[in-house]
A = this chain, B = another copy of it.
Amino acid sequence: MKRFDVAQLAHVEIFTPDPDGTLWFFKEILGMSETAREGQSVYLRSYEDFYHHSLKVTERNEPGLGHVSWRASSKNSLERRVKDLEKSGAGKGWIDGDLGHGAAYQFVTPDNHRMEILWDIDYYQAAENETTSLKNRPQKRPNKGVPVRRIDHVNLMSSNVTANKNFMMDELGFNLREHVVKNDGSEIGSWLSVSPLVHELAFMGDQSTPERGLGKLHHIAFWYGFPQHLHDLSELLTENNIKIEAGPLKHGVSQAMCMYVFEPGGNRIELFGDSGYLIFDPDWKPVTWTEEEVEQAIIFYGAPLPDTYFKYGTPHVKSPVPSK
């Protein structure tokens, strides 16, 4: 039952050369809270993330992706996936765990994006002054910034969209929901999910002259659910000199109302202002956008995306975020 073995995106680790700036951004502007700190890493979560953390920020000399962590649907699901990953040659072996979770099996995509899959995980327990009578919410709504509610998805730049997509479908059981396909049959982008969300994971072709090899992060997305919060955040960012790369706008693919910003460390962050559409059809035929339809695929309404959107991922040689 490969199809149901992965349940969700558990957390993402990013690297930052500017941990103070990065933490200020996620805590003061996006209202996330710090749950732990160890070595060069700080663990953060949104107020509706149920686990110990959804974001791990680790200091490095340049920005980029640490790893992506997936939660299996059960202990058995985990074992089935590990068996297949071992056979595939993509598996890297078990680690004992990290703050917030137990044993995890590490693997890489064809493009060398580091990932892991796990079952044992720690739930967040609210401190006394953070509890809420809203029993399906793990903590009180924060009183700071324009607080994001939960992690939503990750988008990875790829030298070969199809190879990476196939790997996630074949080894992990992801479903292809939408893709953009050139006339020569090659894919420009693919959107994959294990749930009714259109994607927890996307691969986008790297249109830059390849720099510093593979494994680049395009963006991580956090979820608001309400369009007004994108407008509120746009004001807060502008008045705090954080560069908005694009949006608020609405994509054709996934019908996402969203915006993109660069956190001070240089990584691109997407903010998701509605829920797009959801896919409940168990027999969903992937939506294929052709080369001629790529414009509508990218922008349903709003201004065209800037060049950086297609060429900048992290790590990157020339960052659009000025160094300090």
A281 touches B228 (CB 8 A): no
The closest CB in chain B to the CB of A305 belongs to B303
Q: CB within 8 Å of B: which of A1-55?
A: 1, 4, 7-9, 28-29, 48, 50
Known A134-B296, A228-B229, A257-B231: A248·B302 in contact at CB below 8 Å? yes
Q: Distance in Å from the Cβ of A209 to the closest Cβ of chain B?
A: 25
Known A143-B236, A239-B132: A275·B277 in contact at CB below 8 Å? no
Partner of A282, one of B71, B287, B289: B71
Which A residues lie at the B interface, using CB under 8 A? Answer: 1, 4, 7-9, 28-29, 48, 50, 71-74, 77, 132-137, 140-141, 143-145, 149-150, 178, 195-198, 225-229, 231, 234-240, 244, 246, 248-250, 252-255, 257, 274-275, 277-278, 280-283, 287-289, 293, 296-297, 300-304, 306
Known: A7-B281, A136-B198. 7 other contacts (CB 8 A): A134-B252, A135-B288, A135-B297, A231-B250, A234-B250, A248-B248, A303-B303
Q: Can you spell out 11 A-B residue pairs with CB atoms less than 8 angstroms apart?
A: A7-B282, A8-B280, A135-B252, A135-B296, A136-B253, A136-B287, A140-B239, A141-B239, A143-B144, A231-B257, A246-B303
